[in-house]
Structure 1
Amino acid sequence: MPDREARESDAERRRRRETEAERRRRRAQFLHELTEARELRARVTPRRARAARLRQAMRMRTFRW
């Protein structure tokens, strides 16, 4: 019986590892697409993008570490 439990736990670990790898892959793809979308928005609406950059810079200046 212990061998069967050990085999199941190994198989479960392998599945979990694959699932984590898939999750990381999906997350990397999502972040890549998000970055592309932000860059596209910045090119399409430069005035709004400039205002957003200025707001972000102001936030960073007033943020206390």
Structure 2
Amino acid sequence: MSDREKEPPEQLQRRDRAERTGQAERAERAEREQPETDAERRRRRARFLRELTEARELRDRVQPRRVRAARLRHAMRMRTFRW
């Protein structure tokens, strides 16, 4: 049995994630050597914004009380500000 097989699953996942991150960094470095086009930048930005929105929606689902309080605070702020 190899050392890697003896490791707990969480540690294996962490190591795999780190290896993938390293691969992604190397790929990004290779891409940086070539000038980035506007289309690539927009595509990367769109992906980032999609992931950010997804993360916010997930947070809203798992913490409904916090979301409700934030919504009420926002409503109070809007009421106190007169156009």
**Which TM-score band applies after superposition, normalised by the shorter structure?**
0.5 to 0.7
Higher relative contact order, chain-length normalized (CA < 8 Å, sep 6+)? 1
**Structure of higher CA gyration radius:** 1
Counterparts of 1:63 and 1:33, CA distance in 2: 32
Q: Tell me, yes or no, if structure 1 residue 24 matches structure 2 residue 42.
A: yes
Query: Residue 46 of structure 1 corresponds to which residue in structure 2?
Result: 64
Gaps of 5+ in 2: 1-33
Q: Structure 1 residues 43, 24: CA separation in 2 closer, same or farther (over 3 Å shift)?
A: same
Counterparts of 1:23 and 1:50, CA distance in 2: 35
Shift of 1:19: 1.2
For these two proteins, the number of residue pairs brought into alignment is: 50
Give RMSD over aligned pairs.
2.3
* Structure with the higher fraction of residues in helix conformation: 1
Q: Which aligned runs of 4 or more in structure 1 are off by greater than 6 angstroms?
A: none
